[in-house]
C-alpha cells in the first residue's frame, strides 16, 4: 500500500537539521553592481588580431597559442593553454593555467583563479589581450 502525505500550500520552515543539509549558493556582496543586461567582452588591443571582440559568457573559454584553446592568440609569448576566462555568478573570473609568461589582472600577476573587477583588463604579461566588461 502506498501512503501519501498531504501538504498545505504554505511551505513550513525547514527544521534546523534540514537547513544545515542544504547547499545554498549566494552571490558576492557586490553582485548587485553586475546584474544588468550588458554583455561582457574580451578585446584584443595589440597584435595581428587587434580589434577582435569575443563575448565572455558563463561557459569558460581557454585562451592559448594554438588549438585546442577556444581562443587562439598566435603570439609566441602566449602559452598553449595560457588562461581561462568566464563569468561565475555574473563576475568575471580569470584563471592562469600555469602560463610561462604569466597573466595579469589589473596590472597584477595572478596565480590560479582571480575575480576581476568590472574595469579590470586581464592580459598575458606580453600579449595584447584585454577584457572590457
Model confidence at 67: pLDDT above 70: yes
Grid cell of 5 as nine digits? 502525505
Max intra-chain CA distance, the chain: 72
**Residues near 32 by Cβ (< 8 Å), separated by ≥ 6?**
none
pTM: 0.62
Find the radius of gyration of the CA atoms of the chain.
Answer: 21
Grid cell of 73 as nine digits? 592568440
Say if CB 103 and CB 21 are below 8 A apart.
no
120-131 pLDDT tens trace: 555 555 444 544
Amino acid at each position: 500500500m502506498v501512503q501519501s502525505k498531504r501538504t498545505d500550500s504554505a511551505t513550513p520552515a525547514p527544521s534546523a537539521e534540514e537547513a544545515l543539509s542544504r547547499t545554498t549558493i549566494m552571490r558576492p556582496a557586490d553582485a548587485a553592481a553586475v546584474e544588468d543586461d550588458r554583455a561582457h567582452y574580451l578585446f584584443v588591443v595589440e597584435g595581428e588580431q587587434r580589434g577582435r571582440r569575443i563575448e565572455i559568457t558563463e561557459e569558460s573559454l581557454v585562451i592559448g597559442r594554438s588549438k585546442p584553446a577556444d581562443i587562439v592568440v598566435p603570439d609566441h609569448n602566449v602559452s598553449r593553454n595560457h588562461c581561462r576566462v568566464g563569468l561565475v555568478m555574473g563576475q568575471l573570473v580569470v584563471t592562469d593555467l600555469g602560463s610561462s609568461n604569466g597573466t595579469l589582472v589589473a596590472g597584477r600577476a595572478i596565480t590560479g583563479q582571480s575575480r576581476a573587477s568590472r574595469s579590470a583588463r586581464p592580459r598575458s604579461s606580453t600579449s595584447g589581450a584585454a577584457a572590457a566588461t
